[in-house]
Amino acid sequence: FKGTYSKTLQVQSRVKMLEKIEIIQVDEVDTSALNLKFPPAPRSGNYPVIVDGLTKKYGDHVVFRDASLTIERGQKVAFVGRNGEGKSTLIKAIMGEIDYEGNLTLGHNCMVGYFAQNQASLLDEDLSVFQTIDQIAVGDIRTRIKDMLGAFMFSGDTIDKKVKMLSGGEKTRLALMKLLLQPVNLLILDEPTNHLDIKTKDILKDALRAFDGTLILVSHDRNFLDGLAEKVFEFGNKRIREHFEDITGFLRNKKMENLREIERKAV
């Protein structure tokens, strides 16, 4: 009987502990607004970007020499490589921000949307979140601004917040949303996932999957690129090499687990 009595006391003690536990109600996440539908990309020429024999130097320093590549309409590609090997430099050349030797041609009716690493700092800080999007929204998007903001996790009083009151991550989210709502057919994103949490990364990734234009991504984030980029351009040793495989295949052939390892290995 002693053992039975002991077990009874244990059960009673356990019941009392459970009675003291406060039940917390967790709101379910409404994912209905996450099925984002952005404006269709205006049709561009067959080859939005053609690079032929491109060389870029800063003084005696050669970033890349005699580089050539072609990106076809609708392709989603990744630029990868160690820092300082020319990924952002080529993007600046595409954007017409720097001079270079060789030929770089943008295709017919190519309309570029560019997200730089400092893009969030370019927002008008005196506007509210809602006003920032209201300024550029067109067509039926105007009737769905609040839903779209909700999909990027801006809701309630947050949509009336001034941009200058937002956190770094919130500004990045807003800048990305502003870019994605504009009628472009070539999106260039330079490290877009910096300062983003996992949920926002997933939202952005889904939006980019649905984008029917051409996409260039500069990123060290393997998980973000996985299932998104279908081709890889590798920058290193003053060259740009084309790999006809996704990021998983690229890393497997390089015997690497993630893109950060590129910083420690030669191309």
> What is the DSSP annotation of 137-200?
--GGGGGGHHHHHHHTT--GGGGGSBGGGS-HHHHHHHHHHHHHTS--SEEEEESTTTT--HHH
- Position 170 in a domain: yes
In-domain check, residue 151: yes
Q: Where are the alpha helices (DSSP H) in the chain?
A: 2-20, 87-94, 129-134, 145-151, 168-180, 198-210, 222-225, 247-254
pLDDT of residue 257: 85
pTM over 0.85, yes/no: no
Extract the tokens encoding 22. 């406060």
pLDDT confidence of residue 178: 92
* Average per-residue pLDDT for the chain: 86
Average pLDDT over residues 107-134: 93
Is residue 106 domain-resident?
A: no
Kindly state the average pLDDT of the residues 14-38. 48
Domain coverage including residue 176 = 121-183
CATH number of the CATH domain containing 149: 1.10.8
Number of domains in the chain: 1
- Helices and strands, counts by H and E, the chain: 8, 9
By the 10 Å C-beta count (0-12 exposed, 13-18 middle, 19+ buried), 14 is classed as exposed
- Going by pLDDT thresholds of 50, 70 and 90, the confidence category of residue 41 is confident
Q: What is the pLDDT of residues 71-96, one digit of tens each?
A: 999 999 999 999 889 999 999 999 99
In a domain, 240, yes or no: no
- Asked if residue 131 is part of any domain, the answer here is yes
